[in-house]
Chains A and B, each alone.
Chain A
Amino acid sequence: MSEMKFTIDGKECAAKAGQTIVEAARDNGVYIPTLCHYEGIKPAGACRICTVRVGGRNMAACTTPVTNGMIVENQTPELEDMRKSIIEMLFVEGNHMCPVCEKSGNCELQALAYRYTMLAPRFPYLWPKRGVDASIPKLYKDGNRCIQCLRCVRGVRAADGRKVFGLVNRGGHVRIGHDAELANALGDEEAQRAMDLCPVGALIRKGVGYAVPIGKRKYDGAPIGGELERA
């Protein structure tokens, strides 16, 4: 496999052929914020948090493969503010009530808001009317918190590879539906995996929770992406 050379904010980086900008950046110790991206499942480019500038154009770093000699801009003030604005948009687009959410402290949306020091969203709240679906035996599905990153759609599969979750409706009415038969068959382990896949608190396991005290949760002490930057 051939090695390719490219730069991120002037830093010389190397990438293997076929690697996306996000993957290659991580291998070179550079953090590009991601939200809908999850290692091991096919990138969707749904949230655009990872937007970088290449050749004067904005591209989703999670879906764009590196090419030889590519010049990537990552931490420019414009890009950072655009990423912050996407986070703020996601906060006003749903009903994100961190104080009552079990995922608080382990939530990637919240962690990104912390990383960008979001004190309050700059956009007006939309107060959408969305419900909680408690029909799956092992999981709550809370539409209020869903950011439609499609991680569950892409990542949660039955043993034969069929998708458990899928999109229903169109446009602003899109929500995550599920195949009742496959969802009902989810065991504890699969339910936990689905909850871990969900970056926010839209998939929550029933019967367990709040096991980790405040102060010891994933993003209580250190910002998301910090592990790459400290290394």
Chain B
Amino acid sequence: MSKPVVATASLAGCFGCHMSVLDIDERILTLIDLVEFDKSPIDDIKTFTRQCDIGIIEGGCCNSENVENLRLFRKHCNILIALGECAIMGGLPAMRNGIPVRECLEEAYLNCPTVDGGIIPNDDELPMILDRVYPLHEIVKIDYYLPGCPPSADLIWNALVALLKGTPLDLPYEVVKFD
């Protein structure tokens, strides 16, 4: 039997959740024995090469590229996991949700104290900023949610083990934390 295939991505996130994946320490050797990675920053594969079993997404959607990427993951992954606060509810980037986009851009690129004669970037190459930051489940169907900022390595490990073995997820008090 071929190994289950895992793909990961960081959308509007800080890569902290990916760091937490690496935080499983030496268990990563076991993980490599158990699964293969496809599109992921971990192996630097840029495009999907096949249908994957598990997709793990960090970060919410703050621009059009995030949405495109997320839809691509939904298409290519049988199970999609929202990893971390940003994926679940927008997280830090979603702090802009109460502020109009124009105001955000003007503050960052025109009125910020360190800016001298700035312009608001508007190039065709750049993805469009969305009106607000969207959690993943507001755009595609998400199968599982793992909270935390970042989620603890044990939570990620327990979830992967449960998925790979088909056993119930072990959730001791210490592993479910929102910060």
Contact = CB atoms under 8 A, between A and B. Distances in A.
A and B assemble together? yes
Nearest to B173: A223
Contacts of A97: 85, 89, 91-92, 94-95
A42 interface: no
Interface stretch (A16-24, A46-54, A55-63, A114-122): A114-122
User: Interface extent on A, as a size class?
Assistant: 20 to 34
Interface in B156-177: 171, 173-174, 176-177
A99 B88 contact: no
Contacts of B137: 120
Interface of B: 82, 85, 88-92, 94-95, 97-98, 132, 135, 137-138, 144-147, 149, 171, 173-174, 176-179
Nearest to B88: A120
Interface stretch (A29-37, A123-131, A149-157): A123-131
Given A119-B145, A127-B132, 19 more contacts: A95-B97, A97-B85, A97-B91, A97-B94, A98-B85, A98-B149, A99-B85, A99-B92, A110-B178, A114-B173, A114-B177, A119-B88, A119-B147, A120-B147, A125-B135, A127-B97, A129-B98, A221-B173, A223-B173
Interface in A87-136: 95, 97-101, 104-105, 110, 113-114, 117-121, 124-125, 127, 129-130
Interface of B is mostly: mixed
A101 B92 CA distance: 11
A120 B132 CA distance: 20
A99 B132 contact: no
A155 to B, nearest CB: 26
A17 to B, nearest CB: 37
B7 to A, nearest CB: 21
A209 B60 CA distance: 29
B146 to A, nearest CB: 7
A114 B177 CA distance: 7
A222 interface: yes
A208 interface: no
A98 B145 contact: no
A117 B98 contact: no
A110 B174 CA distance: 13
A121 B147 CA distance: 11
A59 B171 CA distance: 31
A214 interface: yes
